[in-house]
Amino acid sequence: MKVHEPLKDFLVHLFPRVVIRKNLRIQYTFCLGGLALTSFLMLLFSGFLLVFYYQPTSEGAYASILFLEEHVSGGKFIRSLHRMSSHALLILIFLHTLRVILTGAYRPPRQMNWLIGFALLCLALFAAYTGYLLPMDQLALWATQTGMELVAIVPGGGYVRDFLLPDGIGGTLSILRFYALHIVVLPVLMIILCALHFYRIRKDKGLLPYL
């Protein structure tokens, strides 16, 4: 596989030259994949705007959120858009996964794309979790505490918890690690997997065969 093939097929999947007429019906795949991608793009756009105001420190995180909502024009809307887009993304990916299971679209030759899609689901869940701590309000602290306790009971989970929370929940280094994962590591991985996902759809003649 050439390096440029996934990117090329990603673009062609979004802007195909010709498609079969019957495959334009919305009930064919319920457009769940496209809607999930739209939610993801909205997350990237709104998150990019939030980066200019957020401070990933123990003292500045919550204060920066208050400043954004109270003193920045449209700040509350952008933050709400980011939050609602994250909820929409998770719901749409879950529904998309459920449709794939119910229609048997995970069967050969699509088993590799099923694994890629499942990895995207896991990354989306982890991205949502890492973003939950960033506002540093009381709900964020308790939710992160609960999540880390659940992780710790899994074999090897203690090492994961210690890596994510080296100075405890709410510590500056912990916030910085959650922040780096949330705005850089996980989005980049999701973008790469999205490109591979669309590449495999075309390569496997997926549910929407192109002419």
**Cα–Cα distance, 137 to 69 (Å, whole number):** 14
Going by pLDDT thresholds of 50, 70 and 90, the confidence category of residue 186 is very high
**CATH number of the domain encompassing residue 107:** 1.20.810.10
Going by pLDDT thresholds of 50, 70 and 90, the confidence category of residue 107 is confident
Chain centroid offset of residue 12 CA: 22
- Global pTM value: 0.84
- Amino acid in position 40: F
41 domain residue, yes or no: yes
pLDDT at 204: 73
Whether 113 contacts 96, CB under 8 Å: no
Least confident piece of the model among 40-44, 65-69, 149-153, 175-179: 149-153
Tokens 């088993």: give the residue: 111
**Cα–Cα distance, 88 to 85 (Å, whole number):** 5
Domains contained in the chain, number: 1
Going by pLDDT thresholds of 50, 70 and 90, the confidence category of residue 81 is very high
Please give the share of the chain, as a percent, with pLDDT higher than 70: 84
pLDDT at 34: 86
* pLDDT, tens digit, 9 for 90 and up, residues 12-22: 766 777 766 66
Looking from the CA of 93 toward its CB, the CA atoms found within 13 Å total 24
Going by pLDDT thresholds of 50, 70 and 90, the confidence category of residue 202 is confident
134 domain residue, yes or no: yes
96 domain residue, yes or no: yes
- For 51-80, what is the mean pLDDT? 94
169 domain residue, yes or no: yes
Going by pLDDT thresholds of 50, 70 and 90, the confidence category of residue 164 is very high
DSSP for residue 23: G
209 domain residue, yes or no: no
Mean pLDDT computed over every residue of the chain? 87
Whether 68 contacts 60, CB under 8 Å: no
8 domain residue, yes or no: no
Least confident piece of the model among 9-13, 68-72, 181-185: 9-13
**Cα–Cα distance, 117 to 94 (Å, whole number):** 10
11 domain residue, yes or no: no
14 domain residue, yes or no: no
- For 19-40, what is the mean pLDDT? 77
Least confident piece of the model among 11-25, 54-68, 73-87, 116-130: 11-25
Look up the domain containing 67 and give its range. Answer: 29-203
Please give the share of the chain, as a percent, with pLDDT higher than 90: 57
What are the helix (H) ranges across the chain?
5-14, 32-51, 61-71, 75-103, 111-133, 138-152, 157-164, 172-180, 186-203
- For 17-37, what is the mean pLDDT? 73
**Cα–Cα distance, 16 to 206 (Å, whole number):** 14
> How far is CA 68 from each of CA 18, 121, 199, rounded to the nearest angstrom?
45, 30, 39
